[in-house]
Amino acid sequence: MSLVNLAHVCSHLQNASKARLGLTSIPLTNLHLRLMLGLQKQGFISSVQLGGPAPPLPEILREPEPELPRHAEEVVKERPWELYATPEPKDSDALLNPRSAEPVAEEAWAEVGSHGSRKASSSSPSTSATSPDVPANAARRRLWLGLKYWNNDPVISKMGLVSKPTKRIWLNSQDIGKIARGFEAGYVKGLTRPGECLFVSTDRGVLEARECAEKKVGGLMLCRVY
Amino acid sequence: MSVSRPARCLFSAATSASKPLPCLHHPRSFHTSTPRRGRRRPHYPSIKAADLEALNARAAEVPTYSESEKALLAKKYTPEQVAAIEAGEAAVDARDLLTQGALRTDPYKLRYIDDLSAIHPWADKQPRKELDSRVDYRVRHKSERELARALVNFTEKTKGLGDQGTEPPRGGADLKEQPGDWEYFRDGAYSALAPELPKFNTPGLRYTRGEDEDPHMVRLMQQTGLTLQEIKRIRVKNLVSHRVVNQTRMGKIQSLYYLTIAGNQNGMLGIGEGKASEPEDGQRQAMMQAIRSMKPVPRYEARTIFGEVEGKVGATELKISARPPGFGIRCQHLIFEMARAAGISDLAARVTRARNPMNTVKAAFEALTSQKLPEDIARARGRKLVDVRKVYYGGKVY
């Protein structure tokens, strides 16, 4: 879990956003993957795709049309709030198997309907990378990220580490709650900008600070994004 | 591979295999922008005569459609399509085909060579939806001229009705009580349009806009579209003024510099600079530029700003933050005056590096006008943002 590489990723995403790139790539590690899925869930990036040194095929990057299951109407009638539920990002399993996107999506709908939330699976990338675009050599694999822009502005304008490689900061859920409310806690400045996000590495995966406060879990402060 | 594929495509595919094009994506490039070339190429390649002759010889060998192939084409395509195919074949120079014709190998290449029947989801322009036949898409509002003409036509028609002695079409009770109303329409000299203002040729009579005849003010009113009263209501304050000197060979030329802010105390703020040898001129320049440059400052609950913003001009960096109601404007005097002019009542600010007054004002203006609104953030991220202040206590929070 190298925070040096994470710092490089933060700087790279800032630079790529300033350069108005549509697609960029970062080295693949489990921490990067979890954090990028968190960023995608918060809407900072549009796509996360496993690939090699060359960019993945464009049709893989396209968002598949949402397919409703057969009993969708009944589900919506019984539990209408699920229409407005934030879509869970694709699991790392689904990401590492880009060819089998549709069945995973259908399964995700069923699981969200029954349990409410899904557990993040932690399979190693070497087991299921079967796509021809993904190199067999794990060190050559990269995560390809789609960057977002709105009103001529990049959606990620700043992204920086909170913990430093030489000084890691762990906080409990009370302190994280204070930070989410905009106050300083544990030498970490509060989230004072509108829409500012702070990502925390916990034993339940990489979570946003507000999720941490809600689930009452603490962890290692990773980076703040706005 | 279909039978009907043109022979040239096959041929070019075979020939291009011997001379591969440079790959568009370098195998180790980690982003999608094209890599920069190492050395600049000349505009015109130098071609040897022997190469040109060889190229011409190869171009002569490029096959054309034989009679049997044309018959095959005629089976699949209509005569017009066959004519189009032949015209297309004739339009491509065989030498260009040999020198430039190659199949792309990058991941974003087209997935077909000549089959245009299928619409590719990302490479092709998607067909537009059929228009609704019941909707008239050319419908528009009448222009003022057309409206006036329609009104004139209507009055003409009603005039005719009155002459025939029939009842007017909209004969209400009040019309019956006042039969004199329709007399207007019977009178040919009477028009429904407003009469033109009379013009007097009296030499002593002058048309004035008001008592203020200042040409600068008239120009400012024309530029901003504001009335004199609105301009006078704008809060204008001079924040910085000092003497500047230009050293020329004739000697020192001194003038006076002014930095002025203008705000309507309701969310608009502008800054302007002026420089002139006369103080009045410089002040007026600065004031007018400030009024012209007024921009909206987003205000949260019309009292403070949205979150925290940073501004930077030169070595001056500052941070302006929102504060709760009743906090007041607790910051240095320049930003205080700007907040007053913009109509902000709760604010904190900190100038972290250089505190040059001119740059402080400019950086604060940049920071105040560059706030990101929660609506924009929500749209950009595709997520719902909720103002928690409006959620607790039924929104009754002041």
Residue B2: the pLDDT is 44
CATH architecture of the region B308-381: 2-Layer Sandwich (3.30)
Question: Dihedrals φ, ψ of B252, to 5°?
Answer: -90, 130
User: Is the pLDDT assigned to residue A209 strictly greater than 90?
Assistant: yes
User: Is the pLDDT assigned to residue B130 strictly greater than 50?
Assistant: yes
Q: pLDDT digit string (tens) for B263-275?
A: 999 999 999 999 9
- In chain B, list all ranges with CATH 3.30.230.10: 308-381
The residue that leads in pLDDT, A22 or A119, is A22
User: Is the pLDDT assigned to residue B370 strictly greater than 90?
Assistant: yes
The fold of A162-226 is Dna Ligase; domain 1 (3.30.1490)
**CB B11, CB B63: distance < 8 Å:** yes
8 Å CB contact of A192 and B380:
no
User: Is the pLDDT assigned to residue B41 strictly greater than 90?
Assistant: no
Helix or strand run (H / E) with residue A207? strand A205-208
User: Is the pLDDT assigned to residue A121 strictly greater than 50?
Assistant: no
Could you tell me the pTM of the whole model?
0.62
Question: In the structure, what pLDDT confidence band is assigned to residue B222 with cuts at 50, 70 and 90?
Answer: very high
**CB B274, CB B260: distance < 8 Å:** yes
Residues of chain B with Cβ-Cβ distance to A62 below 8 Å are 121-122
Domains of chain A: which residue ranges?
A: 3-154, 162-226
The residue that leads in pLDDT, B13 or B285, is B285
Residue B43: the pLDDT is 83
Q: CB of B378 within 8 Å of any CB in chain A?
A: yes
CATH class, B215-296 region = alpha beta
| Partner-chain residue, chosen from B30, B107, B385, that has the shortest CB–CB distance to A195 | B385
User: Is the pLDDT assigned to residue B201 strictly greater than 80?
Assistant: no
Residue A115: the pLDDT is 36
**CB B95, CB B138: distance < 8 Å:** no
Interface test with A, best of B301, B381, B386 (most A CBs within 10 A): B381
Q: pLDDT digit string (tens) for B373-397?
A: 999 999 999 998 888 777 777 766 6
Helices (H), chain B: 7-18, 49-60, 67-76, 79-91, 94-100, 144-163, 173-177, 181-186, 215-224, 228-233, 279-292, 333-342, 357-369, 374-381
Q: pLDDT digit string (tens) for A15-36?
A: 999 999 999 999 999 999 999 9
Q: Considering only alpha carbons, which residue of chain A is nearest residue B382?
A: A43
Q: pLDDT digit string (tens) for B167-192?
A: 555 544 444 445 555 665 666 566 66
User: Is the pLDDT assigned to residue A126 strictly greater than 80?
Assistant: no
User: Is the pLDDT assigned to residue B129 strictly greater than 70?
Assistant: yes
- In chain B, list all ranges with CATH 3.30.160.20: 215-296
In the predicted model, what is the mean pLDDT of chain B? 82
Q: Considering only alpha carbons, which residue of chain A is nearest residue B380?
A: A150
